[in-house]
A = this chain, B = another copy of it.
Amino acid sequence: MTTPHRDTDARRRGRPPATNARELELAALRLFSEHGFDDTTVEEIAAVAGVSRRTFFRYFDSKSAALWHQFDGEVQRLRTAFDAVSPHTPLMDAIREVVVGVNHYRAEDVPELRTRMHLISTVPALQTSAGPHYDAWERAVSDFAARRLNQPPDTLYPLAIGRTTLAASRAAFDQWLTTADTDLTTYLDLSLHALANGFDTRTR
């Protein structure tokens, strides 16, 4: 991850930044939607934000990274939510509540979220870039599970719980994308309940 310029502004010394990650992200999101990911060059994204190609790569490691900016932010919100959860809530319940809680979006943010997730789940070149971002998300869950189970995070159970939690959540996202207007959190809750039930078809 690039850590170029701290967003927290108390007016620093040198030349002020001409843009920021968020602005570049929005420019990328717009162009990707209009012309497609492959037919958009970094040059064009940078131009929309009013900076040079070189500067784009100071904010993002790759062309696709711009789309993962918000997602990466969710990882941090996940971790803080896990830190705040009651130690008496059973493990899988705690995970479900945290994931669902982090995914409450304001109505005005939903269209952008839909656009981004639609791109991520349809454009092959973007699926291709998902790996490291998903890993970080999974690790947040694995670390929590590891603390609860009193095991190292890279052992079977914590690993499996982190990975399957993301897997179930992604299924919920995909389902949400193809439906008209059911709430995202409804699908997340459903999918994570199913996970905690071992997909027992009798209990549905």
Residues of A within 8 A of B (CB): 91-92, 124, 127-132, 135, 149, 154-157, 159-164, 166-168, 170-172, 174-175, 178, 187, 190-191, 194-201, 204
Please indicate which of the listed interface residues A130, A131, A190, A191 has the most CB atoms of chain B within 10 Å of its own CB: A131
Counting every copy of the chain, the complex holds 2
A and B contact pairs by CB, cutoff 8 A, 7 listed: A124-B131, A127-B131, A131-B131, A160-B168, A164-B164, A197-B198, A198-B200
Assess the B131–A128 pair: CB atoms within 8 A: yes
Docked CA distance A204–B151 (Å): 14
Is A161 in contact with B127, judged by CB distance below 8 angstroms? Answer: no
A156 partner residues in chain B, CB cutoff 8 A: 171-172, 175, 187, 190-191, 194
Closest to A128 in B: B131
